[in-house]
Structure 1
């Protein structure tokens, strides 16, 4: 029996390693090509750069072409503001749906769950028409749209976690004179630290890397995020794969650093939120 468990565990480890290699291989190739000139990429896209093809100029030119500082700040502001609003709205909504157990709250929760099944492409054209009519085709409108699309998943995650928060703590605080706002921000929010970090990580990664929605809403000079600016490397008649590879690496690096700093909270938050 012990040998069988060891074999099963080893099999899972091997499968995990193979899946890791499969998912990381495209990023590895992208990194290699970011250090090659155009000729080196066309000669051998999968190979390592040699003395004739190796160059660091790709990163310098990509940094300048991307207008990196401005684009980075656009991405950072939009991502941080959108994520903060998603966390605030979702946590409050989930808390109310858990604590006020009625048929209406159950229906509302099911509507949020069903909203996750609707692809963005199905609502893209009506959303743009509505946004134009309400003069929301700008950065503020983009943030509001992100909040709308991000709350469904976040509410579901908060909902599962808040079920594990003892109601006795809230009842004791109510007896001590806390109103609903004080009860939520003073008693409940500190207990949601783990799931909040998990929700923040997932939303930051999604919003930072998003291309489609910003391309529809804020694709104007000076407003563009980093993913939008990488489109400049792909022209109608020529494609600068060398600069594009370096530019994409510059876009990836900040979010990879953020993920590595917070990754331990993802599994913990999802697991704790799923246990009831």
Structure 2
């Protein structure tokens, strides 16, 4: 009985500490949500206080200030198509490397791993020159191709490690039944790799949706601005429109929150499937 009571006390203490840590991480969201419905004067006077009156008009003004429908459309196009290309080509590349072990594939995989440690800032200027010469500048599809290039090393690395856990005998049995290479990949390998697909999509979505630096280098037209670029326009050299920027930030993170809520069951099922398979 004493051991059970000690265990319950320790568990209670750990749970309380975890709750406090969770609340600490939620503090920035409080400041964001609370100040998004304040007047500009209230934000400057006391950012930590609750709003004296809720200013829902801030959201309408922020919506119009950044042209939210246009920015949302651009961010969705870039994020969705970048993810589709990344998971498709990266998984097929990793499958080729794992199932056809050769010196060339080992060297190529080493180059992918080495590319992960190259700082983006060191290739900013060459990137702008290459995209301009290739006609990719000021284009959403040019930006998508850039994300494909920069996101491929990590995606290939993760797929490569996960691909090794798939038994080769299953693929050989499918080939005996008459399946070709693409049939084996999409009917056998893809379903077994679903947890890794979900993981990579989540990582890439967080990176691409919130990225400011790469779109700011590639996109110059106002009608092609993604949400981070459109929101940054509210911060000038002499003025910072907090009463517009904070509602715009809330609008910008709302689609990501909806995405995670929609993907939650797939994340849980993917973790469970991976645990059973392991």
How high is the TM-score relative to the length of structure 2?
A: 0.89
**Unaligned residue ranges in structure 2 (runs of 5+):** none
Does the 8 Å CA contact 2:98/2:163 hold for their aligned counterparts?
yes
| Aligned residue in 2 for 1:81 | 81
| Aligned residue in 2 for 1:106 | 106
In the aligned structure 1, how far is the partner of 2:205 from the partner of 2:55?
32
**Unaligned residue ranges in structure 1 (runs of 5+):** none
| Aligned residue in 2 for 1:59 | 59
Does the 8 Å CA contact 2:74/2:140 hold for their aligned counterparts?
no
After TM superposition, give the deviation of residue 119 of structure 1 in Å: 1.8
- For residues 223-242 of structure 1, the aligned pairs below 5 Å read 223-242=224-243
| Alpha-carbon spacing, 1:93–1:47, altered in 2? closer, same or farther (3 Å) | same
In the aligned structure 2, how far is the partner of 1:213 from the partner of 1:270?
32
Does the 8 Å CA contact 2:86/2:151 hold for their aligned counterparts?
yes
Does the 8 Å CA contact 1:219/1:228 hold for their aligned counterparts?
no
| Aligned residue in 1 for 2:134 | 134
How high is the TM-score relative to the length of structure 1?
A: 0.89
Does the 8 Å CA contact 1:201/1:266 hold for their aligned counterparts?
no
Deviations along 1:125-160, one digit per CA (max 9) or x if unpaired, are: 111111112121121111011011111111122122
Does the 8 Å CA contact 1:198/1:270 hold for their aligned counterparts?
no
Q: 1:48 aligned to 50, 64, 67, which one?
A: 50
Does the 8 Å CA contact 2:82/2:145 hold for their aligned counterparts?
yes
In the aligned structure 2, how far is the partner of 1:56 from the partner of 1:267?
36
Deviations along 1:167-209, one digit per CA (max 9) or x if unpaired, are: 1111011112222122212221122222112211211121111
Does the 8 Å CA contact 1:195/1:270 hold for their aligned counterparts?
no
- For residues 178-197 of structure 1, the aligned pairs below 5 Å read 178-197=179-198
| Aligned residue in 1 for 2:247 | 246
| Aligned residue in 1 for 2:176 | 175
In the aligned structure 2, how far is the partner of 1:98 from the partner of 1:182?
17
Pairs aligned (count): 273
